[in-house]
C-alpha cells in the first residue's frame, strides 16, 4: 500500500502514460496517412500500366486497320510486349513417380 501511495510511484505511472499516449496517437495517424499515400501511389502505378497497355493495343489496332500489319502479327506483338517472351523449359521424367513429384512441386 505504501508503494501505491508514494509520490515516486505516481510520478512514474504518470510519466509512462504521458509518454506512451502521444506515441500511440502519433503512430495511429502516421499509419493511416501512410496507408492512404501507398494506396494512391499503387493506384497511380496501375493506372499508368493500364494506359500504356491501352495505347499499345490502340496503336496496333490502327496499324491493322491501315493494312500495315496482319491481325495475328499485332496480337503476337501485343502479347509479347504485355506479358514478355515465352519461357519454355523441358522436363523428361523417367517414370510416373518422378513426374508426379515434379507436378506436385510446380503445380
Model pLDDT for residues 47-80, shown as the tens digit of each residue: 999 999 999 999 999 999 999 999 999 998 998 8
Angle between helices 7-66 and 71-83 (to 10 degrees): 160
**pLDDT for position 107:** 56
Could you tell me which residue, 34 or 102, shows the higher pLDDT?
34
Rg of the chain over Cα atoms, rounded to whole angstroms, equals 31
Q: Are 90 and 103 in contact (CB under 8 A)?
A: no
Distances (CA, A) of 93 to 52, 67, 87, 96, 97: 42, 47, 19, 7, 8
- Stretch 9-32: mean pLDDT: 92
Whether pLDDT at 8 is above 90: no
- Residue 2: the pLDDT is 67
* pTM score: 0.53
Amino acid at each position: 500500500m505504501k508503494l501505491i501511495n508514494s509520490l515516486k510511484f505516481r510520478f512514474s505511472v504518470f510519466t509512462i502514460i504521458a509518454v506512451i499516449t502521444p506515441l500511440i496517437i502519433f503512430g495511429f495517424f502516421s499509419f493511416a496517412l501512410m496507408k492512404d499515400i501507398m494506396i494512391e501511389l499503387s493506384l497511380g502505378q496501375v493506372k499508368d500500366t493500364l494506359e500504356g497497355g491501352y495505347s499499345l493495343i490502340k496503336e496496333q489496332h490502327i496499324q491493322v486497320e491501315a493494312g500495315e500489319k496482319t491481325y495475328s502479327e499485332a496480337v503476337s506483338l501485343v502479347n509479347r510486349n504485355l506479358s514478355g517472351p515465352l519461357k519454355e523449359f523441358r522436363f523428361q521424367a523417367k517414370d510416373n513417380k518422378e513426374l508426379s513429384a515434379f507436378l506436385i512441386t510446380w503445380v
